[in-house]
Every structure is written in structure tokens, then in C-alpha cells.
């Protein structure tokens, strides 16, 4: 497969050891999928920080948020007959699914876009409420005027959906709740109105009819979404035959709206591709790459919490 991406020679920019855990009981095992934006003349990352409990022989731990927003640790013996633990990311206990990690979103900034630090006067964002009991993940950031729209994956025993917050100063946040119900994720809002409407890419999923496809939605106010259209599907026999999902907000070019997306095969290997949407009607896909534009090649892409992955 092809790879046209140029990698920064000092990658990775951040490692789990570079940040402090959110509390003394937890350890950071991975930093993932940051939203990227410019604010106050600096480059910022809104990083997903995945934490868990240090391993203990014969026992598995999974952290969750309680009703008060505190971290609760569930401990289960590995030989418990009610435990199914065959996936590094998800376990099933007594018929219910749990994540092996608990994720929150943390702000880091940089003057040069290379060396990032965690500013002391900006708080982290944690799951809040029963729809975010298993954490919040993989935030995309869209700026329209002075307002930033944060669309993120909200996880709980009720399913995986898309939550949204807005902010103008990154210190005060207005929670809009869940804007796309389960099962849905990978939501990216366009950075300008098109014909007076907001547009967003999102990824509903189905275990039965249908699949993990990219959809387009429109909204009069950025909160209430409708007129959903499926615009990008998986392709049999190609690198993205199992799932596809939007990355960051589409980029406006003279040729159309350019979207860099992730796709995976049935072996869970993730690559990046691109497609182009019409400027006035983004439901019209003008073109799409046949081959990926970036594939996992480097050591830090081939191994880790979940290997053989490049993601956006």
C-alpha cells in the first residue's frame, strides 16, 4: 500500500510518562487522538488520556465514574466464570460490557507546535453524568467565529454516542448533552455554514443491516441534526473494508471540502484516506482515494495499546 505522509522526525510528540495521572490510584497507559486548534496565538491539543489501574496477578480492574463524578474501581478475579476478557479494550462481566480504561480530555499548548506542555490554569474535562460513566474520548474541535465546538465520544453502559460542548475561552464550557445517540462516534462539524446551515460528519454503526459508514447531517442551529445521508461506505477487497470514520473538520479548498478519514480492515489495521465533497452540497462526494495516503510503518505506529494503527 502507498504512504505519502511526511512524519515529524522527533515523533512521538508525547508519551504517557510526560503527564501526571489524574489521581494516585491510576496510571496513564496511552495518549490518543487529540483535537487540534489554535487559541491565543498558540497551538493546542485536546488529548484523550486513557488511564487504568496497575496490573495485579490474577485480577482485572476496570475504572468507571460514579454519580458524583469520582473514579470507582471494579476488581474481578480473572478466573471468575462471569468474566469474558478476550479484548484489550473491552471486557464483559455478568453480561455487561466495561472498558479496561477510563479516558478524559486534557489540554496542552505549544508556542511552536512541537514542544507541548500542560498549562496549570486550564482544567481537564472528565465524563459527567450517566451517559459518560465510562469516560469521554477522541474529541474533534471546530472553530466558528469565537466559538469552539467540541464533539467527543461519550461512553456508558447505555452505549457509545456523540456528546458536545462549546467554549470561547477554554475555561468555561457549555454542555449540550448527547447530540447523536448510540451507536455513533467520529463526529466532525464543518468550520463554516453552507447555505445557512451547519453540517457534520458522523459515524452510526449497525451490527445487522448496514455497517460502519460515514454519514452527513445538517442543522439549523448546530444542536438539532437531521436530513442524514450516507456518503462514504466501506469497500470490499480494499484497505477500508471493515469500517470508516471521519477525522478532523473538513478543510475548505478551491476544489471542494477535503476530509482526511480513517479506515480499517477486518484485521483491525487502521490507515488514512481522503475524499472530496462539493463546496455547495457536501452530500456529493467528488472523489475518494483508492489507496491509503498513510499506513502504519513506524515502530510507534506498529505497537502499543492497540498496534498497526494510524488514526485521525
Q: Where are the domains of the chain?
A: 183-312
Overall pTM > 0.85: yes
Residue 51 has pLDDT above 90, yes or no: yes
Residue 25 has pLDDT above 90, yes or no: no
170 to 39, 117, 144, 147, 252: CA distances (angstroms): 9, 16, 14, 10, 25
Place of cell 462539493: 278
Q: What is the pLDDT of residue 91?
A: 86
CA distance 249 to 187: 9
Q: What is the pLDDT of residue 18?
A: 96
Task: Pick 183-312's CATH classification: 2.115.10.20, 2.20.140.10, 1.10.10.10, 2.60.40.10.
Answer: 2.115.10.20
Q: What is the pLDDT of residue 215?
A: 99
Q: What is the pLDDT of residue 134?
A: 94
Low-confidence winner among 20-34, 244-258, 264-278, 285-299 (lowest mean pLDDT): 20-34
Q: What is the pLDDT of residue 58?
A: 86
Pairing of strands 71-77, 83-84: unpaired
Low-confidence winner among 113-122, 238-247, 299-308 (lowest mean pLDDT): 299-308
Pairing of strands 42-52, 102-110: antiparallel
Low-confidence winner among 90-94, 138-142, 162-166 (lowest mean pLDDT): 90-94
Residue 305 has pLDDT above 90, yes or no: no
For residue range 232-265, what is the model confidence (pLDDT) as tens digits? Answer: 999 999 999 999 999 999 999 999 999 999 999 9
Residue 15 has pLDDT above 90, yes or no: yes
Mean pLDDT value of segment 183-199 = 98
Written as nine digits, the cell of 182 is: 448510540
Q: What is the pLDDT of residue 304?
A: 83
Q: What is the layout of strands, in order, in the sheet containing 83-84? A: 83-84, 90-93, 96-99
For residue range 53-109, what is the model confidence (pLDDT) as tens digits? Answer: 877 788 888 888 887 778 888 888 888 898 898 777 788 889 888 888 999 999 999
Q: What is the pLDDT of residue 294?
A: 98
Whole-number average pLDDT of the chain: 94
Q: What is the pLDDT of residue 133?
A: 94
For residue range 258-271, what is the model confidence (pLDDT) as tens digits? Answer: 999 999 999 999 99
CA distance 42 to 156: 34
Q: What is the pLDDT of residue 96?
A: 85
Half-sphere exposure of 218 (CA within 13 A, CB side): 12
Asked if 260 and 292 touch (Cβ cutoff 8 Å), the reply is no
Q: What is the pLDDT of residue 63?
A: 85
CA distance 72 to 156: 14
CA distance 91 to 60: 9
% of the chain beyond a pLDDT of 90: 79
Of the pLDDT bands very low, low, confident and very high (cuts 50, 70, 90), residue 171 is: very high
Closest CA to 37 of 168, 139, 116, 143: 143
Q: What is the pLDDT of residue 98?
A: 86
Q: In three state form, how does the secondary structure of the chain look? A: CCCCCCCCCCCCCCCHHHCCCCCCCCEEEEEEEEEEEEECCEEEEEEEEEEECCCECCEEEEEEECCCCCEEEEEEECCCCCEECCCCCEEEECCEEEECCEEEEEEEEECCCCCCECCCCCCCECCCCHHHCCEEEEEEEEEECCEEEEEEEEEECCEEEEEEEEECCCCCCEEEEEEECCCEEEEEECCCCECCEEEEEEEECCCCCCCECEEEEEECCCCCCEEEEEEECCCCCCCCCCEEEECCCCEEECCEEEEEEEEECCCCCEEEEEEEECCCCCCCEEEECCCCCECCCCHHHHCCCCCCECCC
168 to 35, 38, 146: CA distances (angstroms): 16, 12, 6
Amino acid at each position: 500500500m502507498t504512504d505519502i505522509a511526511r512524519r515529524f522526525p522527533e515523533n512521538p510528540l508525547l508519551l504517557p510518562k510526560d503527564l501526571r495521572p489524574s489521581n494516585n490510584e491510576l496510571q496513564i497507559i496511552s495518549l490518543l487522538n487529540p483535537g487540534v486548534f489554535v487559541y491565543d496565538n498558540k497551538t493546542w491539543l485536546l488529548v484523550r488520556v486513557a488511564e487504568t489501574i496497575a496490573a495485579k496477578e490474577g485480577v482485572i480492574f476496570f475504572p468507571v465514574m460514579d454519580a458524583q463524578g469520582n473514579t470507582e474501581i471494579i476488581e474481578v478475579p480473572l478466573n471468575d466464570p462471569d468474566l469474558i476478557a478476550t479484548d484489550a479494550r473491552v471486557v464483559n462481566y455478568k453480561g455487561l460490557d466495561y472498558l479496561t480504561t477510563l479516558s478524559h480530555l486534557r489540554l496542552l499548548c505549544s508556542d511552536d507546535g512541537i514542544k507541548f506542555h500542560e498549562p496549570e490554569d486550564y482544567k481537564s474535562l472528565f465524563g459527567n453524568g450517566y451517559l459518560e460513566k465510562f469516560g469521554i474520548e477522541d474529541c474533534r474541535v471546530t472553530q466558528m467565529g469565537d466559538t469552539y465546538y467540541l464533539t467527543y465520544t461519550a461512553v456508558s453502559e447505555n452505549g457509545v454516542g456523540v456528546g458536545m460542548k462549546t467554549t470561547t475561552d477554554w475555561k468555561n464550557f457549555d454542555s449540550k448533552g448527547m447530540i447523536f445517540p448510540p451507536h455513533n462516534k467520529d463526529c466532525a462539524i464543518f468550520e463554516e455554514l453552507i447555505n445557512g446551515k451547519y453540517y457534520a460528519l458522523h459515524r452510526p454503526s449497525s451490527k445487522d443491516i448496514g455497517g460502519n459508514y460515514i454519514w452527513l447531517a445538517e442543522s439549523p442551529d448546530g444542536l438539532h441534526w437531521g436530513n442524514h445521508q450516507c456518503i462514504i461506505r466501506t469497500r470490499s477487497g480494499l484497505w477500508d473494508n471493515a469500517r470508516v470514520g471521519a477525522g478532523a473538520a473538513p478543510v475548505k479548498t478551491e476544489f471542494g471540502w477535503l476530509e482526511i478519514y480513517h479506515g480499517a480492515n477486518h484485521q483491525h489495521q487502521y490507515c488514512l484516506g481522503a475524499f472530496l465533497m462539493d463546496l455547495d452540497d457536501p452530500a456529493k462526494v467528488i472523489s475518494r482515494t483508492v489507496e491509503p495516503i498513510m499506513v502504519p510503518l513506524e515502530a510507534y505506529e506498529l505497537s502499543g495499546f492497540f498496534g498497526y494503527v494510524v488514526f485521525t
